Amino acid sequence: HHWRYHIPRGTTLIVNVWAIHRDPKVWDVPTRFKPEKFEEMIEDDREGFNFKFISFGVGKRACPEEGMGFRTVSLVVGMLIHCFDWETVGQELVDIGQGFGITL
């Protein structure tokens, strides 16, 4: 038994991360891109019990290269900022709409 559910041995469970990351009970405006909403999560929940944001999976099947992923993204963003001159192209807003896709 897990919480209130009986899960038979051998059952494959798939977590709907998309729905968790857009849960209106957790996020005040879940469909709007607001990076500041992650500021309270500076201390990552290594045990996987903070189900607000699941970037690398949880439990024993979590991504083993989570640390390398964070370091690589920080390095790449720093290099992009350093190596390019950034400016806006026009007054148009960037479309950050949702679409169908798959994450591997």
Annotated binding site for heme, which residues? 63
Alpha-carbon distance 80 to 103, whole Å?
24
| Measured CA distances, 23 to 45, 46, 55, 103 (Å) | 19, 21, 15, 19
3-state secondary structure of 14: coil
Q: Could you tell me if 48 and 58 are in contact, meaning their C-beta atoms sit under 8 angstroms apart?
A: yes
Return binding residues.
Answer: 63
